[in-house]
Amino acid sequence: MVRSKDTQKEINMTEGPFLKKIILFLIPLVLTGLLQTLYNAADLVVVGRFRGELALAAVGCTGALTNLIVGLFMGLSVGAGVLVAHAIGANDHERVEKVVHNSVLLSVVLGVIVAVVGFIFAPQLLVLMDTPDTVLASATLYLRIILCGVPASMLYNYCASMVRSMGDTKHPLIFLTISGVVNVVLNFFFVAAFGMGVEGVAIATIVSQYLSAIMILVFMMRSDTCIRFTPKKLGLDAKIVKKILYIGIPSGIQGCLFSFSNVLIQSSINSFGDIVMAGNAAGSNIEGFVYIAMNSVYHAALTFVGQNMGAKKYHNIKKITLLCAICVTVIGLVMAGFFFLFREFFVGLYVSAEGALREAVMDAAFRRMNFIMLLYFLCGIMEVLCGTMRGMGKSITAMVISLLGACAFRILWLETVFKIFPQIECVYISYAISWILTIIAYIVCLIVYYRRLVRPTTEARTI
């Protein structure tokens, strides 16, 4: 239970009814995620409108690779968030303080390492993805600049994860609103006013990332709660770091493997040429808005389940998971239906070409959306089940399920079915099949773990 100085209301995630609390938790979190997605969306829209389809393809093809590079280490923020949630549920504020100061230092150190290594090997990584020579130079420049913002991005995500674990989703929304506006303004300033290309939108993005990181760190320094950050207390405690790594590394590996499978998919898409790459970049970016909204429910499941685990109120886990699954299904269907219904307008925002070229790029985007958008809620359900399992502390199991059900399956699909039917639709359909397989595996494992948790409680009541 946490008392927020700003709202003067108690946020109790361990007592029902939960639906209203989950919705109140979700609203700022969904808005925060959508604003964060605007970073890359603004890059793509501005560069596509002012610099053409080749520049759009250059920016779009780096997304999967960027996620792959930072995914492993960014997953550690989940470990920090879960530890904070468990400690809050157990009312152990001293442990919260230790997690905060270990996590802040860890995020900066790892962020610098990722940035340096990625900067050096950016060209080679893009070549491995079969990035066409027509966009390789621009993609390399964009990726290297973006990587310079990784330390700030990791610091923000670690801090935001811990702030959300206290039930505060409002302040991350405020910080992302400010930095998001700065990002969009700077995009137009650098590209439209100064005639810069992909480097302009990349610089705008990292400026906004450092701004959001500074704001949330200052907020934590001024906080009067147990997540208060004091620079003098920075350090790395072996026990705390070990616990963060135990939960965070499997999460990071899972994100990394998902990104790796997406890199392979992107490589397959790249083989269809510039037009398909540009259309795919626009379509996948629009889907990103739906995904980030659904992913917010993942964080809700993670936080609510985490606090109830800390408080040893295991009987609430089933209710929370079911409510989160319903919420993510509604969000996924409504948002996907909206974007699909008005797909011509939204895809058109990314495309500056006219005539036959415009039609070809938009058709490539529509082909992706036809196979993925309306089934995207399945991905949301998969994320919720993963969040529940992580909140229960079963991060390694979640990693294994995702590895086998989604990543390994997609790689196998590309190496077998896609080679027999080398059509773009064959690539896209693999997403939905992998989501269904992973959902089934999660449900089976969660039923087993849940019964193990509640059995001692049930037996005690019987006695």
User: Which pLDDT value is given to residue 151?
Assistant: 92
Quick one: how far is CA 61 from the chain centroid?
A: 17
Buried b (16+ CB within 10 A) or exposed e, 257-276: bbbbbbbbbbbbbbebebbb
User: Which pLDDT value is given to residue 379?
Assistant: 92
User: Which pLDDT value is given to residue 40?
Assistant: 61
Burial class (CB in 10 A: 0-12, 13-18, 19+), 351: buried
Give the N- to C-terminal CA distance of the chain in Å, as an integer: 30
Would you list the DSSP string of 47-107?
Answer: HHHHH-HHHHHHHHTTHHHHHHHHHHHHTHHHHHHHHHHHHHHTT-HHHHHHHHHHHHHHH
Mean pLDDT by 10 residues, the chain (463 residues): 41 81 87 70 70 71 68 70 84 86 88 89 83 82 90 89 83 87 86 80 90 94 88 87 83 73 76 81 83 88 90 92 96 93 85 76 87 90 94 88 85 89 88 92 94 68 44
User: Which pLDDT value is given to residue 161?
Assistant: 83
User: Which pLDDT value is given to residue 275?
Assistant: 83
> Reduced to 3 DSSP states, what percent helix, strand and coil does the chain have, rounded to the nearest 5?
85, 0, 15
Cβ pair 259, 71 in contact under 8 A: yes
Note the pTM of the prediction, 2 decimals.
Answer: 0.75
Cis peptide before 28 (omega within 30 of 0): no
Residue 203 to residue 179: CA distance in whole angstroms = 13
User: Which pLDDT value is given to residue 401?
Assistant: 92
Name the 3-class secondary structure at 169: coil
User: Which pLDDT value is given to residue 6?
Assistant: 42
Residue 319 to residue 443: CA distance in whole angstroms = 14
The residue ranges of every structural domain in the chain are 12-462
Q: Which ranges in 342-423 belong to alpha helices (H)? A: 343-348, 355-372, 377-391, 395-402, 409-415, 417-420
Residue 187 to residue 413: CA distance in whole angstroms = 38
User: Which pLDDT value is given to residue 5?
Assistant: 44
Torsion of CA 430, 436, 437, 439, to 10 degrees: 140
Residue type, 152: A
Tokens 């993925």 sit on residue: 372
Instruction: Tell me the two tokens of residue 460.
Output: 């005690």
User: Which pLDDT value is given to residue 17?
Assistant: 86
Residue type, 354: E
Q: Which residues contact 111 (CB under 8 A, 6 or more apart)?
A: 73, 150, 151, 152, 153, 154, 155
Geometric angle at alpha carbon 223, from 221 and 227, rounded to 5°: 85
Residue 24 to residue 303: CA distance in whole angstroms = 13
User: Which pLDDT value is given to residue 4?
Assistant: 39
Residue 168: phi and psi, rounded to 5, are -95, 100
